[in-house]
Structures are given as structure tokens and as C-alpha cells.
Chains A and B, each alone.
Chain A
Amino acid sequence: MATVDSQTANQTVVLKPAKGWLGVDLKELWYYRELVYFLTWRDIKVRYKQAALGIAWVILQPLITALVSTFVFSRGLKIDSGSLPYPLFVLSAYLPWHLFANSLTKSSSSLVGNANLITKVYFPRIIIPLASVLSSLLDFFISLVILLIAMVIYKAPITLTALWIIPFSVLAMIIALAVGLWFSALNVQYRDVQQILPFISQIWLYITPVLYPINIGSNPIFKAIYNLNPMVGVVQGFRWALFGGTQPDATIWISGAAILLLFISGIYFFRRMEKTFADVV
């Protein structure tokens, strides 16, 4: 027979009105780690149920994207991807981009989608957007395998520098979580967020060098502004890690600062709004 952890047996819960700004209680989050796992697992498990092709969609989506954009942008619009074959060029950026966009979409609607949990059970609310960001990882890993296969086919060398994609992927998820925290909390009160989100995603895609190479001239001010978009650094860094070329320069710190600001403000905003989720959702 399992016994209750001694750590939890003596826990005292204090009820009091929520005041001011709160950070994240990491200890509590650690206590609920299994719930993060189970919610992530549920999201993955449920996503392709009732779809005739099931999990095959995870493979088809990046393939179709690569194919379509190759035809439209490389053959059609004659975008120059340099020495890199365009399918590799677009897949390498599509991976972190899709990880980001997927995570953002899911986390933004996550609180509203889990309203039944929020109004009935207590747990740190941040777990919900966190789990939906993590559940995008499965698609990412499968896409990564496809990319590696494509690299073998195109005889692109796989070097140790490729390991840099790990921090860049984590960064993409942090950005998604940061924005997702803002959007999910706003969405509880204002469902408009759900309507605006597709446009934001699309515009964000256009200001990120996913479909086109990053050669935007040398005007330092313009470059700095462009780099305020943290996904620029991620996508560029991802491409660099796999294929070399333009190494991320000092402007990545602008991206980094933007991420940090977004993330911290996102947490605080979320924690502040959290108190009213159950009443408003």
C-alpha cells in the first residue's frame, strides 16, 4: 500500500486573498511534475485520434510544407538559398519555426480548453500552457528525423556543430511559452485572442527568415530592430548549426534580451491573472 509522501503529509495550505505580483513556486511545480507529464502525454495521445491517417500526419506535415514551399518560393519566386538546396534550407528553418508556432497556438488556447480542470481542481495553472508546449516536442523530433534523412539524401555533412540545435530548440520553446503565457491568460478573459492568433502567427512567419535567407542589408539600426524578433536568432542559429554559413553575431543578444523580457513579464502577468481564471473562464 502506498503511503503519502512525508513531504506532503505535513503540508499546510494557507488561504488568503491574492495580492500583488507573484513569481513561480518552483518547489510546488516540482511536486506536480507528474501532472505535467500526464497532461503532455494526454495531449500527444489524443491529438491524432479519430484521424484516418493518425500519427502519419506528423510525418506528412513537414514533408508537404517542404514540398509546397520549394515549388512556390524556389521554383516560382526564384528565391536564392545560396549553395544550400532549397528543401534543406526551408526544412531547417521550418523545424524550429513549427515547434514555436505549434507551441504558441496550443498554449494560447490551453487554459480555455482545460476550463473544466481549472474550475474544479487546484494545481499550479502554469502547468497547462507548459504541458501544451512540451507536447509539440513529439512532432519536432519526428520532423528532425525527416530533416536528417533529407540531409543524407542531399549529402550534406552532419557535424558536431549540429548539437547547437538543442539550445536553439529550447529557446524556441521558451519564446513560445513566454508569448503563450500572455496569450493564454488574455484568452481566458478575451476570446478575441483566438481570432487574432492566426494573423499574428502569419505575420511573425513573414518577419522571420524561414522562407527567405537573412540578407537584409547592413543598416545597423534596421538590423537591430529586425533582431528584436527573437525567432530571428533561433531560426538563423538553427540553420547555422546544421549547415554553417552566417554565424549568429552580437545582435543575437538583442533577441536574448527580448526573450528574457517576454518570459519574465509573461510569468508575472500569468500569475497575476491566474487568481481569476476559475471565476472568469
Chain B
Amino acid sequence: MMNSDYAIQVKGIGKRYRIGAAQERSDTLRDLIVSQVGKARGIFQPRRSAARSDHNHIWALRDVSFDVKKGQALGIIGRNGAGKSTLLKVLSRVTDPTEGVGELRGRVGSLLEVGTGFHPELTGRENIYLNGAILGMRKKEIDARYDEIVAFSEVDQFIDTPVKRYSSGMYLRLAFAVAAHLEPEILVVDEVLAVGDADFQRKCLGKMSDVAQQGRTVLFVSHNMSAIQRLTEESIVLDKGKVLLRAPSAEAVDFYLNRGLSKLGERFWEHDEIPVTAAPFRPLAIRLLDKNNTVSDSVRSVDPITIEIEYQLEAEITGLRVGYYLNTSRGEAVFTSFDTDPHDLFNEYTSRPAGVYLSRCTIPANTLNEGRFSIGINASAYRIKRYFQDDQALSFSVDASGAPGTQWPEPRPGAVRPALDWRIDRKGPHERV
């Protein structure tokens, strides 16, 4: 079955869970006895028990097939609950598939979280060895990379201190450092970059792209769409446990942002997509509205369009500004705007008490050229704190029909297409300028 050009081949992988099996931490013998008695009774009530067993299971993955060439980096994107984590768990052999087969050629290193098995009572040095061994490194490999790991983590002064005394930043740096020096042929990474501060995230991303460039096979799950686009050439989009699309990452991201979500032109943030550091700011939704105030992902250049950001403040924030970046699909910045840019609003909203807010911005008609655009949102207090940022909150397309110049069916370069005033004066029949 295996073609040696491929590092990963899976066919028809499915994973079925008993509903609640993952959460129910306190299965007890009593439950078992009760359910056995229930089953015995079921003999006399066959209809009811059959109906029950049907609803007791859920397919977290169904009929998932794909392959990854050696040295390729593949992104996996999808909403929460789409099956991404389950897929990674199956691929890293944490759990077995219910159906289907797969082959992975090469040593698999899976990073479903950083710092797996770190023990708070042990020192940094001891945890490097313990964590390395858990991740599948041999002692001599850890010995060989020990200095690099310590240097990368920047905790060398505290290396003989129990990690329970570390700050959360130091802890994460050390944990990531060990993981980053694991050198398997196939690396399976889940969202580990969603932790830590911006600097640390940049460092991690840098290390990840090194890994991808070293010709190792990488499977990368993330909600960070720009990271997906930077690190992977191709991505698969998962939804409800099925592969919806496999495409070059830019296309897949676009598809996901528009179709993979609940509605076109609208994006909601689930609770677990919001980093804890965002509190007390909580993004709820961003929407794109056309001239009829209908949510849409495709608008016309000749109509005004409205961008609506809905969010909740769990506590009062002073100096908050909520706004967005508008970029072309190629990543060129078009403009940036915040809701307190206008002077009157700036003076009125020096501080916002807790509550649910809606910040709306209208982009006048005849602003954007045809093409695809993406919106990133940002909520921050200038020079104090960045509460929340999502560089790929939404994307949409603009249709230029009817706009000035469309009498010639030629593409016009540029991100904007303003309706500018032109005057043509005739200075007389033969007059020379």
C-alpha cells in the first residue's frame, strides 16, 4: 500500500466516541451495574434500548483520507469540534481509529501540547530529561542537545530550580525548547503556538519554519491563519469530522474563513478560541454588511459596505480602541482604522464600562477595487495592552461591476478604486498649450 515518497498515508479513518465518554470522569461500578440491569430489562423493551444505543455514539472523524509527501508541511484547519484534535490523536497513536487504516513512515514526534509530563517538583534540568524521554528522545540525544535546549529556553540561571518556581513564561519557554529540539522525521503539532506572549510566539514560529524547511514532514493544526499560510504549502479543511477541501493553504484558509464557518461574511469566536490574556475583552462576532444591511461575503465596489464588530467587556477598560486592518488577499495592507479615530468618539469613550458593544464602520461606496480582501481585528489600549488580535478574522470579495472604468473589461491594478473627479477641458480648436 505504501509508496515510499509519502511520509503519511491514511485511508478512510474514522473515530467514534461514546457521547460523554471523554468528559465523564467518574464512571462508577454503580453506573455499570445500573446499565447492565437496564440492558437486562431491555430484553422486554427492545425498542427503547435500540434507540438509546443509536444516540450514544458520535463520529468525531469519518472517512478521512489523505497523504503527505515526505518533507511536505500540511496544515489542518477547521472549527472547534471539527475533528482536528482527534485526527492528530489518531496520527500520533494516542488513540486508535475505529475504522480505516494508515501508515506513517519515520519516527513520529507529536506535540499535542508543550510540557507534557513536566513535574513541578523537578528542576529545569531534570524536566528536560524527563520530558525529552516522554517525547521519545533517547538519553544520548538529549545529552547532545542539552546546551542548545537551555540556550533556546533562556532559563540557564534557573536550570537547577524546581520548575514550580518558574514564571509561566519561563515554564513555557523551557517546555517549548525541549519540544523544538525533538527531531523526528514526522512532526505533528497542535496549536502549541497559541501560548505565551507575542515575542515568544514569534520565536516559536521561527523555529517551526526552520523545521519545515529542513525537509521534515510537518502536520500543523492552528487557528492562527497567518501561521498556517506561512508554514504550510497545502492545507486540509475539516468540518464535522470530514475533509471538505484540500488546497494550497491560501485558498484553504480563504475557504475556511468563508464557508467553514457558520455564515458567509460573518465570524464568531468560540470561548476556547479566545486567549485568556484577552480578558476582560471578549470578541463575539465580526460581520460584513452590504448596502441592504444583509450579512454577505461579496459586496459591490459601488455600494457602501459596513463592518460590524461585536464584543463584550467583562470589566471596564480605559483607553480601549477596537478596529480592523484591511489587507488584500496577497497580504498588502490597504488601511487600518479604529473606532475612536474620530475625535468626538475619542473624547466620548475615554473609558468603556462593562457591557456588550457594537462598533460599526462604514466604508464609503467606490473605495475598494475588485478582488479579495481580508480583515484582521485588533482591540488594544495604546501603549498599554493589546487585548485581542486576529489577523484573519474575515475575508470577502469585491465586485467592481458598474464602477468607474469598467466600460473597459481590463483588470485595474491597485487595491482601491476610488471614484475620482475628472475634468476634461477643451481649450479651443487649435490652441497650443
**A residues neighboring B (CB under 8 Å):** 1-2, 4-5, 8-18, 34-35, 37-39, 41-42, 45-46, 49-50, 114, 116-123, 189-192, 275, 278-280
Give Cα A156 to B181, complex, Å: 56
Distance between B149 CB and nearest chain A CB, rounded to angstroms: 12
Q: How many residues of B contact A (CB 8 A)?
A: 58
Question: Which residue of the partner chain, among B13, B112, B134, contacts A35 with CB atoms under 8 Å?
Answer: B134
What are 27 A-to-B residue pairs whose CB atoms are below 8 Å? A2-B144, A2-B145, A4-B184, A4-B185, A8-B107, A9-B107, A10-B106, A12-B106, A14-B103, A15-B91, A15-B96, A15-B97, A15-B104, A16-B101, A34-B133, A39-B130, A46-B119, A117-B134, A119-B89, A120-B112, A121-B92, A123-B134, A192-B28, A275-B95, A275-B96, A278-B94, A279-B17
Chain B residues near A190 (CB-CB < 8 A): 27-29, 32
Known: A34-B133, A35-B134, A38-B130. A15 touches B93 (CB 8 A): yes
Known: A16-B96, A116-B117, A117-B134. A279 touches B29 (CB 8 A): no
Q: Which A residues lie within 8 Å of B126 (CB)? A: 42, 45
Q: Which of chain B's residues has its CB closest to A11's CB?
A: B107
B residues less than 8 Å from A42 (CB atoms): 119, 122, 126, 130
B117 touches A121 (CB 8 A): yes
Contact indicator A278/B95 (Cβ below 8 Å)? yes
Report B67-84 residues with CB < 8 Å from chain A CB.
Answer: none
Q: Kindly list chain B residues whose C-beta atoms are within 8 Å of the C-beta of A4.
A: 107, 141, 183-185
Given known contacts A5-B138, A15-B104, A35-B133, is B92 in contact with A122 (CB within 8 Å)? yes
Mask, B97-118, CB within 8 Å of A = 1, is: 1111111111110101100110
Q: How far is the CB of B112 from chain A (nearest CB, A)?
A: 5
Contact (A123, B136) CB under 8 Å given A1-B144, A15-B93: yes
Residues of A near B98 (CB, < 8 A) are 17
Q: Which residues of B contact A14 (CB under 8 A)?
A: 101-103
Please measure, in the bound complex, the distance between the C-alpha atom of A37 and the C-alpha atom of B10, giving whole angstroms: 34
Min CB distance, A1 to chain B, in Å? 6
Kindly report which residue of chain A lies nearest to residue B148, judged by CB atoms.
Answer: A1
Residues of the B chain whose Cβ atoms lie less than 8 Å from the Cβ of A121: 92, 94, 110, 112, 116-117, 134-136
Q: Are A17 and B107 in contact (CB under 8 A)?
A: no
Known: A17-B100, A191-B28; 7 extra A-B contacts, CB below 8 A, are A4-B184, A42-B119, A45-B126, A121-B136, A122-B92, A123-B134, A279-B22
Of the candidates B29, B90, B145, the one whose C-beta lies within 8 Å of that of A192 is B29
* Residue in B closest to A196 when the chains form the complex, CB atoms: B29
A12-B104 contact, Cβ under 8 Å, with A35-B133, A46-B122, A117-B134: yes
Interface string of B37-54 (1 = CB under 8 A from A): 000000000000000000
> A residues within 8 A CB of B384?
none
Contact in complex: B94, A12 (CB < 8 Å): no
**B21 interface residue (CB < 8 Å to A):** yes
- By a CB distance below 8 angstroms, the chain A residues around B93 are 13, 15, 122
- Alpha-carbon separation in the docked complex, A10 to B90 (Å): 20
A252 CA to B30 CA, complexed, in Å: 37
Q: Is B167 an interface residue (CB 8 A)?
A: no
Do A120 and B27 have beta carbons less than 8 Å apart?
A: no
Q: Ordered nearest first, which 5 A-B pairs have the shortest CB separation?
A: A15-B102, A122-B93, A2-B144, A38-B133, A2-B141
Q: With A42-B130, A50-B121 known to touch, is A34 a contact of B110 (CB < 8 Å)?
A: no
Query: Do residues B89 and A13 form an inter-chain contact, with CB atoms below 8 A?
Result: no
Q: How far is the CB of A165 from chain B (nearest CB, A)?
A: 31
Complex Cα distance, B26 from A192, in Å, reads 9
Closest chain-A Cβ to B66's Cβ sits at a distance in Å of: 13
The residue that B13 contacts in the complex, of A15, A38, A189, A191, with Cβ under 8 A, is A15
- The answer to whether the Cβ of B324 comes within 8 Å of any Cβ in the partner chain is no
Question: B129 near A: Cβ within 8 Å?
Answer: yes
Which residues of B have CB within 8 Å of A5?
Answer: 138
Closest approach, in angstroms, between the C-beta of B186 and any C-beta of chain A? 9
CB-contacts of B164-195 with A (<8 A): 183-185
Q: Is the CB of A9 within 8 A of B17?
A: no
Q: How far is the CA of A184 from the CA of B102 in the complex (A)?
A: 29
Complex Cα distance A146/B96, Å?
A: 48
Contact call A280/B27, Cβ cutoff below 8 A:
yes
Decide yes or no whether B385 CB sits under 8 A from chain A: no
- Given the complex of chains A and B, what is the CA–CA distance between A53 and B122 in angstroms? 18
Q: Decide yes or no whether B2 CB sits under 8 A from chain A.
A: yes
Give Cα A9–Cα B22 distance, bound, in whole angstroms.
34
- A191 and B27 form a contact (CB under 8 A): yes
A12 near B22 (CB under 8 angstroms)?
no
Q: How far does the Cβ of A55 sit from chain B's closest Cβ, in whole Å? A: 14
Q: Which residues of B contact A280 (CB under 8 A)?
A: 21-22, 27
Q: Compute how far the CA of A38 lies from the CA of B110 in the bound complex, rounded to whole angstroms.
A: 19
Q: Using Cβ atoms and an 8 Å threshold, which residues of chain A touch B13?
A: 15
- B203 within 8 Å of A (CB atoms): no
Minimum Cβ distance to chain B for residue A27 (Å) = 15
- Output the nearest chain B residue to A50 by Cβ-Cβ distance: B121
Residues of the B chain whose Cβ atoms lie less than 8 Å from the Cβ of A50? 121
> What's the least CB distance linking A222 to chain B, in Å?
32
Q: In whole angstroms, how far apart are the Cα atoms of A191 and B119 in the complex?
A: 23
In the bound complex, how far is the Cα of B122 from the Cα of A186, in angstroms? Answer: 30
Q: Within 8 Å CB of B116, what residues of A? A: 116-117, 120-121
With both beta carbons as reference points, the residue of chain B lying nearest to A114 in the complex is identified as: B117
Residues of A within 8 Å of B110, CB to CB, are 120-122
Q: Does B94 contact A118, Cβ atoms closer than 8 Å?
A: yes
Q: How many angstroms from the CA of A273 to the CA of B184 in the assembled complex?
A: 29
B140 interface residue per 8 A CB criterion:
yes
Which one of B95, B116, B143, B183 has the highest number of Cβ atoms from chain A below 10 Å of its Cβ? B95
A58 vs B32: C-alpha distance in the bound complex, in angstroms?
39
| Chain B residues, Cβ within 8 Å of A16 | 96-97, 100-102
Task: Tell me whether B139 is interfacial, beta carbon within 8 Å.
Answer: yes
The residues of A that contact B105 with a CB separation of less than 8 Å are 10-13
